[in-house]
Amino acid sequence: MLEVYNTLTRKKEPFKPLHEGEVRMYLCGPTVYDSSHLGHARSIVAFDVIRRYLEYKSFDVRFIQNFTDIDDKMISRANEQGVTTTELATKYIQEYFEDFDKLGVKRATAFPKATEHIEEMIAHIQKLIKKGYAYEANGSVYFRVSKFKKYGSLSRQEQDAKEPDEPEPSESGEKKHPDDFALWKAMKPGEPFWEAPWGKGRPGWHIECSVMSAKYLGEPIDIHGGGLDLVFPHHENEIAQSEALSGRPFVRYWMHNGFLTVNKEKMSKSLGNFFTIQEITAKYDPEVVRLFLISSQYRSPIDFSDAHLDEAKSRLARIHNAIDLLQRHTQEAVLAEADNPAKPSNADAELWEGLKTLHTEYETAMDDDFNTPIALASLSKFLSLMNTILTGTQTITAGTLLKTREVLDALGEVLGLYRDRMGGPAQITDEATVDGLVKLLIDLRAQARKNKDFKTADQIRAQLKDLGIILEDEKSGTVWKRA
RNA sequence: GCCGAGGUGGCGGAGUGGCCACGCGACAGCCUGCAGAGCUGUUUUAUAUGGGUUCAAAUCCCAUCCUCGGCUCCA
């Protein structure tokens, strides 16, 4: 039984989607005025794993992620660079896809943009005004927080005790209460704008998520996600805007990921302690970065450092070695058993037992609010067992090995790890040629070793290493891989 | 100030009453012509501090100290 932690109730709750067999989830995406950094990756990878696990559990997942392509930061950055906000957005959306494709993040069902939903937002705001939840002031429109009694229930913040509608001298003079927030911002000279019944301007930040979420997923949706820093005010305001109109819950499960920190401080643009995904992936394999990001539970903080990424690199190498070992044994067994199938041995039974344990432990972990560290631990335990069995003296049948591969493939798919090593034998012609040539050299080296001509043997190995090809001697023979 | 999260071995990171994961690093052994990988073992009483409850506490209760986050820029 899957349980998820709901920020609304601050408890783990059994997960039951509104429509059986179907999950509708929405993730607050980036404002596309700059490159994504590792903090964004933490959130996006976390929800990617959640989405993948839900799919693994056979849910049909509709997953929407927005791009905020109009707001103050978009405007000021576009002005700095002498481009339009549209040009700026196009550039960073493209970069976004490059970054996250690299990190193995599955593309969302749709990526709606704020600027493509202005009409719907205006309609939503009009209805809010009509119902008395919003008011116009100098061409801007604000949400009247005091009118929405549940305000603050997500972030557990008391509504300001000040008298509603009491003028606030420190404010711009437009808002009737400091807690009120903008639904529509009147145009300032030189800014991009859209026509609205109350004048030229642009939407506030929060309204886009309410409108696009409802448009693409309906109401209520099952899961709405984002970083912990979005709880207040962003998500609180989304609830207010949406529920003020619909009169029913907007979201059933609110999920928030913890921060990526640097020296225990939140990685953020304003602190300047950020590294872009491009910078990190220039230094580390994207799969290493991904493993690093899922090595702690998504709600826990995770501290960034080179040492921690190096650790993930070592750990990933261990996983890869085990997968490669399995791949070789599987291919050999399939070939060997082409004509006469082998009988399962005790070792087969042991491996089956291990698979069963892995399967149970893994699912129990992921069912418990997506506990990836425990899922990885169960995988590690299994891989140790598998290494022992495969390097042992007993041969395993092709059937057992293929089953092992199938299970590891499915579990790796959820975490987004080692998938590229799970395929069959190399298919590209060049690859096949290289494979043939290297095997030829391996044979020659084997001859040399047999003749105790270690000088030649070592020379072959060393020269291949210079070409980026590593030879490793196994009990069953020599294998090769790329450095 | 208000609200919230958390302090676990050399390091990362699980664990909400007993059996104390998993990984990284280090050391030793096995295997090996050598190397790598792999396997095994070790890394002495790891659970911020002080009390309390209990046959039994990292886990529950009380107090204290410390760290981090949110409070309308933020994944």
d(CA A268, C1' B21) / Å: 33
| Six-digit token string for A371 | 């506990």
pLDDT higher at A458 or A430: A458
- How long is the CA A233 to C1' B57 vector, in angstroms? 39
Asked if residue A311 keeps its beta carbon closer than 7 A to nucleic acid strand B, the reply is yes
Q: What's the Å distance between residue A444 CA and nucleotide B11 C1'?
A: 44
Residues 6 or more apart from A135 whose CB is under 8 A from it?
Answer: A129, A141, A142, A144, A176
CA–CA distance, A395 with A43 (Å, rounded to integer): 43
Residue A430: what pLDDT?
64
Instruction: Examine the pLDDT at A413 and tell me if it is beyond 80.
Output: yes
Strand B nucleotides in reach of protein CB atoms, 7 A cut-off: 2-5, 11-15, 21-25, 31-40, 67-75
Residue A230 Cβ < 7 Å to strand B: yes
Is A164 near strand B, with its CB below 7 A from some atom of it?
Answer: no
Task: For residue A254, give the nearest of A53, A23, A26, A62 by alpha carbon.
Answer: A26
Section A252-273 average pLDDT? 90
- Which range, A160-164, A335-339, A365-369, is most confident? A365-369
The predicted pLDDT at position A403 comes to 95
What is the pLDDT averaged over residues A280-306? 94
Q: State whether the beta carbon of A265 lies below 7 angstroms from any atom of strand B.
A: yes
Distance A289 CA to B43 C1' (A): 28
ipTM: 0.94
| Token pair of A442 as six digits | 């391996």
Whole-number Å distance between alpha carbons of A473 and A453 = 16
For residue A23, the 8-state DSSP code is E
Give chain A's end-to-end CA distance (angstroms, integer).
Answer: 42
Lowest mean pLDDT among A218-227, A234-243, A349-358, A448-457: A448-457
Section A233-259 average pLDDT: 94
DSSP-based three-state secondary structure for A254 = strand
- Nearest nt to the CA of A374 via C1' is B14
CA A121, CA A26: separation in Å to the nearest integer? 17
Residues in A 324-343 whose C-beta is less than 7 A from nucleic strand B are: 325
In chain A, what percentage of residues exceed pLDDT 70?
95
Distance from residue A122 (CA) to nucleotide B33 (C1'), in Å? 79
pLDDT of A166 higher than 60: no
User: Distance from residue A210 (CA) to nucleotide B43 (C1'), in Å?
Assistant: 54
DSSP A117: G
Enumerate the β-bridge partners of residue A199: A196
Q: Looking at the DSSP assignment, which residues form a beta bridge with residue A251?
A: A221
How far: A322 CA to B32 C1' (Å)? 19
Long-range contacts, stretch A16-21, CB < 8 angstroms, 24+ apart: A17/A59, A17/A222, A17/A252, A18/A220, A18/A221, A18/A222, A18/A252, A21/A58, A21/A59, A21/A60
Instruction: Confirm if A167 and A248 have CB atoms less than 8 A apart.
Output: no
pLDDT at residue A122 tops 60: yes
A413 touches strand B (CB under 7 A): no
Residue numbers in A 351-390, CB below 7 Å of strand B: 368, 371, 373-374, 376-377, 380-381, 383-384, 387-388
Cβ of A275 less than 7 A from strand B: no
The Cα–Cα gap between A229 and A458 comes to 57
Whole-number distance in Å between A376 CA and B24 C1'? 14
Radius of gyration, alpha carbons of chain A: 28
Would you state the structure tokens that stand for residue A81, as one six-digit string? 């660079």
Q: How many helices (H) and strands (E) does chain A have?
A: 14, 16
Distance CA A12, CA A255 (A): 11
Look at strands A60-65 and A140-143 and give their pairing.
unpaired
The mean pLDDT value of chain A amounts to 91
Region A293-308: what's the mean pLDDT?
A: 93
A291 touches strand B (CB under 7 A): no
Q: What is the pLDDT of residue A123?
A: 96
pLDDT tens for A374-402 read 999 999 999 999 999 999 989 999 999 99
